Structure 1
Amino acid sequence: MCLAIPAKVVEIGKGEGKDEDKGGVKAKADFGGVSREIDVSLVDAKVGDYVMVHAGFAIEIMDEHEAKETIELWREMLEKCF
Structure 2
Amino acid sequence: MCLGVPGEIREIDGTEAVADFWGVERRVRLDVVGDAVEVGDYILNHAGFAIRKIPEREVEETMAIYESLFGDDVDEALDEIGAPRGADIDLGGEQGDAEADAAVPGDTDGD
Where do 5+ consecutive residues of structure 1 fail to align? Answer: 19-24
Distance 1:51 1:75, change over 3 A: same
For 1:2-61, what per-residue CA distance to the aligned partner results, in whole angstroms no more than 9, with x for missing partners? Answer: 111111111001xxxx8xxxxxx2110011222111111223311111111111100111
Runs of 4+ in 1 over 4 A off after TM superposition: none
Q: Secondary structure at the match of 1:45?
A: coil
Distance in 1 (alpha carbons) for counterparts of 2:42 and 2:72: 25
| TM-score (normalised: structure 1) | 0.72
Q: State the shift of 1:71 in Å.
A: 1.6
Whose RCO is larger (CA < 8 A, sep 6+)? 1
2:17 is the counterpart of 1:27: yes
Which letter maps to 2:26?
Answer: R
Q: Secondary structure at the match of 1:70?
A: helix
Q: Residue 46 of structure 1 corresponds to which residue in structure 2?
A: 38
Checking the alignment, whether the CA contact within 8 Å between 1:10 and 1:27 is kept in structure 2 is yes
Where do 5+ consecutive residues of structure 2 fail to align? Answer: 77-111
Q: Residue 69 of structure 2 corresponds to which residue in structure 1?
A: 77
Which letter maps to 1:40?
Answer: L
Distance in 2 (alpha carbons) for counterparts of 1:65 and 1:32: 19
- Give the count of matched residue pairs: 72
Identity rate of aligned residues, in percent?
39
Bigger-Rg structure (1/2): 2
Distance in 1 (alpha carbons) for counterparts of 2:54 and 2:66: 16
- Richer in strand (by share): 1
Which letter maps to 1:75?
Answer: E
Distance in 1 (alpha carbons) for counterparts of 2:7 and 2:56: 10
Checking the alignment, whether the CA contact within 8 Å between 1:50 and 1:62 is kept in structure 2 is yes
